[in-house]
């Protein structure tokens, strides 16, 4: 499967329309990741990674990190901006860029195979899910389950718009979409919510930044 948004995503990087890129490590990651208490050497998968500095932070915590990113411009910029000289090798339909304990597979997420990733202990989804159009999200999760071990947990950060008719209790709870997408394979725990009003009066919109911990259910 190839996402119909692939062309749009590649064009954003060609046109340098990358306001979504965070110029610092995500504060929710550095605040809540330590609570996972992962062993040094745990292998972390970062889907749709862009040129996120979060990957360097994860490596600094003693992890092995492998990301996947469609745009070669983003991958090249990541290593150049951080003054890293990666080794490049062809791996199936993707190109593997590797430096120390950090690897990025450049190519289509939906072209990934389990063998491309190898052992994965935890998935770090930094709003990759909610950046996708709604009609693709189910396929995204299905592919994630296909290419990662059934024992792999997910640390999920989402950006969710609170609808005009949504109550505070609804906005602060686990969204129905997250339940639908993940509850069959995971125990879903909402560990933190930040509610932010964005825009200009009177058209202020509330955005919820949420931290989910998804624990893989035991097989059988």
Give the residue numbers spanning the domain of 92. 6-13+26-216
Which residue, 179, 185, 183, 181, is CA-closest to 220? Answer: 185
The verdict on residue 1 lying in a domain is: no
The verdict on residue 21 lying in a domain is: no
> Domain containing 163 — which CATH number?
3.40.50.150
The verdict on residue 152 lying in a domain is: yes
For residue 4, the model assigns a pLDDT of 47
Which residue, 33, 106, 19, 87, is CA-closest to 63? Answer: 33
The verdict on residue 143 lying in a domain is: yes
The verdict on residue 19 lying in a domain is: no
The verdict on residue 195 lying in a domain is: yes
Predicted TM-score (pTM) of the model is: 0.87
Q: Judge contact between 212 and 188, C-beta under 8 A.
A: yes
> 66 pairs with which residues across the strands?
45, 103
The string of pLDDT tens digits covering residues 88-132 is: 999 988 999 999 999 999 999 999 999 999 999 999 999 889 888
The verdict on residue 18 lying in a domain is: no
89 burial type by CB count under 10 A (0-12 exposed, 13-18 middle, 19+ buried): exposed
141 burial type by CB count under 10 A (0-12 exposed, 13-18 middle, 19+ buried): buried
Task: Name the token pair of 27.
Answer: 């504060």
Question: Could you say which residues of the chain have pLDDT below 50?
Answer: 1-4, 13, 21, 220
Number of domains, the chain: 1
Query: What letter does residue 140 receive in the DSSP assignment?
Result: H
The string of pLDDT tens digits covering residues 23-37 is: 789 999 999 999 999
């Amino acid at each position: 499967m190839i996402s119909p948004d692939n062309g749009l995503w590649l064009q954003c990087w060609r046109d340098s329309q990358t306001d979504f890129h965070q110029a610092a490590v995500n504060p929710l990651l550095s605040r809540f990741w330590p609570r996972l208490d992962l062993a040094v050497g745990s292998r972390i998968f970062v889907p749709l990674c862009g040129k996120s500095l979060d990957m360097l932070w994860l490596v600094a915590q003693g992890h092995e990190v492998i990301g996947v990113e469609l745009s070669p411009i983003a991958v090249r910029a990541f290593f150049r901006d951080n003054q890293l000289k990666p080794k490049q090798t062809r791996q199936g339909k993707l190109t593997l860029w590797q430096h120390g304990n950090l690897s990025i597979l450049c190519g289509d997420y939906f072209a990934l195979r389990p063998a491309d990733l190898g052992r994965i202990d935890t998935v770090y989804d930094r709003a990759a899910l909610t950046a996708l159009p709604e009609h693709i999200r189910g396929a995204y999760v299905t592919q994630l389950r296909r290419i990662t071990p059934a024992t792999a947990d997910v640390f999920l950060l989402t950006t969710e718009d609170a609808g005009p008719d949504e109550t505070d209790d609804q906005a602060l709870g686990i969204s129905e979409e997250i339940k639908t997408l993940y509850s069959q394979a995971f125990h879903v725990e909402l560990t933190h919510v930040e509610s932010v009003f964005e825009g200009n009066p009177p058209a202020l919109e509330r955005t919820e930044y949420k931290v989910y911990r998804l624990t893989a259910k035991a097989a059988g």
